[in-house]
Structure 1
């Protein structure tokens, strides 16, 4: 294996790019293969989140990667990518099943060509099986995996999670699997096919909840609960409660300590009830005690009584959070044309340090010249390929998407 892991990525949307961003942050050399017009995330950014024409969606999951824009339907383009793969350790894709095969770059062929390759596939529901061809997207898998039913289930019904948590978790799982396969390759010299899916990631996210659910015979209405209760399997007061201004959450807490902290006779009278069987009753009593109080008043008292709680904060609050600042949770980068973007940093530290920011592929094909020169092509040869619309690179006219 190379001293620096070399990754060829056929990834778009979020699950695959999230995976490659984790690897690139840790030092891997990641080349993102894109069509000449650029990957999907260059052309869509939810919430109209663009900075000088650059998609925030793109910037959220492509840090430290390089972009090679290439037409894989042209033989010259396919041959160049195969040369790149010959020097790589890992190939990753998150297309629908069969797409790489139709391009002449299927995993069976790549494995035969280079048996030591680590191959990684991120799909929606799996590469095989009765639902393999169905669309796989975060919200769809939140629904199919039971996450929406479990997240909601209160008086307002099922509720989606407010972020693409399955996509992000799927990317992290795939990165973990790739690293494990690379360790195996160091030990045996053999390649591995690593497979992940959004469906599997959605189920894995709920390991605790699903294990508990299947461990006992559940009532059909087990998810139904008072709107304050945050989980179907926790005792009250676990959940979200309105205050005179804003909201707070209460985690698992001793009812005697909570009654003392709020100096509440109503809660003292309920200390001995089964706070799971009667979670709605207890949660409503807690809500009645809190709705007229301010966070600034209850928080010091809760701290003194060791009550686990937090204020419900907005994204704007998060940016000012002193612990987030201490952890260096965010990083500001310059965007071409002026302006800046705020990125979420790599979540881990190594010897006390965060991985550095090296590059962002702001434009499709931004690194095509440098990548192909590493393969031994001259600049003149690259310019000729760009003129023939085999590759995209700075100064070449890209086709419309």
Structure 2
């Protein structure tokens, strides 16, 4: 779908690499521009997981890209990069504000060389304002944007989601924006300056909640609720319950009177008329009732009425989930003599997930190929290797998809 898009990705860690991975999955030619010692996430592994020296963080967000390793501070290295910029549609970066400007690759400089460029910057807080220069990282943003406060309870246990969801959402928003700008460029020939940030992404995750809170003139006391209730703005039952053999969630949906009757507790039936006003009492009674239930019993009681519930699964369970298998959610590939597992692109196009075409396992492994395509001669490339301007990699075994 994006086969004609060429992207230079000056990105590291998760937000930027994940954004460019979405584009690469959809067919864009994404060249990951890395320093001579490699992108940060090559050396940082989630839970210290490395396969044949490559971090799980790196191979989870850099699928289907090519790796170019170059010294951005070297004048010859700058010539190399600008030769690629002149052929690119998109420059994507998530360096701290001002870094690329100091290196000579800021927006104005790049636009002067390539007037129709799509220049996309992803930051923590935004490019202006009191937080512009502050470190911007997923957990910090979750705290500042209110997400932690509403996930738990400020008085007892503000709760952090178990994964960096703002990074991933910010990446998806950036990929969406770049795709829209590319469509505009194809129809008008005009480039776009795109700016996204994690703070806005964190707020965007809470669109319904924030609209209800401020439009309804609510106060912080509204967040106080039974610990089982998953959301401050939804009535009971909507939350997580401990059963005798597992945890399960029960959500809104179906006839509440049928639900109360199916549970068989008269006190619930009495509270069903106003589940918002009575939500804490409803959740407490239901929680106590379900402690002795098995999931099999819950399933038998609620399924006939079309009510909404689900078992809480861990990562071992999802690996064997038949619906996850049907949706082709996992991909596996070789790194050296070992096998890596990642999530596939989340969207299906004409019934299939985009293929895993390549993985930039080797730092700079595509440098020679990329530069040759840009018109550099073999002699020029080898001279820059000798001078330490570029790192051509060590030709390690390529990833093989399955």
TM bin (shorter chain):
over 0.9
d(CA) in 2 for partners of 1:225 and 1:167?
Answer: 28
Q: Does 1:90 align with 2:90?
A: yes
**1:82, distance to aligned residue in structure 2 (A):** 0.3
Q: Which residue of 1 aligns with 2:66?
A: 66
Q: Which residue of 1 aligns with 2:304?
A: 304
Q: Which residue of 2 aligns with 1:399?
A: none
Q: Which residue of 1 aligns with 2:400?
A: none
**1:197, distance to aligned residue in structure 2 (A):** 0.3
Q: Do the aligned partners of 1:237 and 1:251 also contact (CA within 8 Å) in 2?
A: yes
d(CA) in 1 for partners of 2:197 and 2:105?
Answer: 20
Gaps of 5+ in 2: 396-402
d(CA) in 1 for partners of 2:238 and 2:307?
Answer: 12
**1:379, distance to aligned residue in structure 2 (A):** 3.4
Q: Do the aligned partners of 1:348 and 1:354 also contact (CA within 8 Å) in 2?
A: yes
Q: Which residue of 2 aligns with 1:157?
A: 157
Q: Does 1:13 align with 2:30?
A: no
Gaps of 5+ in 1: 397-401
Summarize the alignment of residues 324-339 of structure 1 with structure 2, pairs less than 5 Å apart: 324-336=324-336, 338-339=337-338
Over 3 Å counting, the alpha-carbon distance change for 1:351 and 1:314 in structure 2 is same
- Give the TM-score normalised by structure 1: 0.95
d(CA) in 2 for partners of 1:9 and 1:171?
Answer: 13
d(CA) in 2 for partners of 1:183 and 1:375?
Answer: 24
Q: Which residue of 1 aligns with 2:398?
A: none
**1:373, distance to aligned residue in structure 2 (A):** 1.3
- Give the TM-score normalised by structure 2: 0.95
Instruction: Give the SS at the match of 2:220.
Output: coil
Instruction: Give the SS at the match of 1:333.
Output: strand
Q: Does 1:269 align with 2:286?
A: no
Q: Which residue of 2 aligns with 1:256?
A: 257
Q: Which residue of 1 aligns with 2:279?
A: 279
Instruction: Give the SS at the match of 1:270.
Output: helix
Q: Which residue of 1 aligns with 2:205?
A: 205
Q: Do the aligned partners of 1:255 and 1:267 also contact (CA within 8 Å) in 2?
A: no
**1:214, distance to aligned residue in structure 2 (A):** 0.7
d(CA) in 1 for partners of 2:379 and 2:156?
Answer: 63
Q: Do the aligned partners of 1:154 and 1:226 also contact (CA within 8 Å) in 2?
A: no
**1:243, distance to aligned residue in structure 2 (A):** 0.2
d(CA) in 2 for partners of 1:190 and 1:270?
Answer: 60
**1:155, distance to aligned residue in structure 2 (A):** 6.6
Give CA-to-partner distance per residue, 1:100-157, whole Å, 9 cap, x none. 1000111011112211111101001011222100111100100111000010117742
Q: Which residue of 2 aligns with 1:387?
A: 386
Give CA-to-partner distance per residue, 1:214-260, whole Å, 9 cap, x none. 11121331111111000000101100000001100011143312112
Q: Which residue of 2 aligns with 1:46?
A: 46
d(CA) in 2 for partners of 1:4 and 1:211?
Answer: 39
d(CA) in 2 for partners of 1:296 and 1:3?
Answer: 49
Q: Which residue of 2 aligns with 1:344?
A: 343
**1:349, distance to aligned residue in structure 2 (A):** 1.0
Q: Do the aligned partners of 1:118 and 1:182 also contact (CA within 8 Å) in 2?
A: yes
Instruction: Give the SS at the match of 1:369.
Output: helix
d(CA) in 1 for partners of 2:203 and 2:162?
Answer: 17
**1:9, distance to aligned residue in structure 2 (A):** 0.6
**1:25, distance to aligned residue in structure 2 (A):** 0.3
**1:395, distance to aligned residue in structure 2 (A):** 3.9
Extract structure 1 runs of 4+ deviating beyond 3 A. none
Q: Do the aligned partners of 2:10 and 2:34 also contact (CA within 8 Å) in 1?
A: yes
Q: Which residue of 1 aligns with 2:377?
A: 378
d(CA) in 2 for partners of 1:154 and 1:340?
Answer: 43
Give CA-to-partner distance per residue, 1:8-34, whole Å, 9 cap, x none. 010111111111000000000000011
Count of residues in Structure 1 that have an aligned counterpart in Structure 2: 393
Instruction: Give the SS at the match of 1:160.
Output: coil
**1:271, distance to aligned residue in structure 2 (A):** 2.0
Q: Which residue of 2 aligns with 1:101?
A: 101
**1:67, distance to aligned residue in structure 2 (A):** 0.6
Instruction: Give the SS at the match of 1:9.
Output: strand
**1:353, distance to aligned residue in structure 2 (A):** 1.5
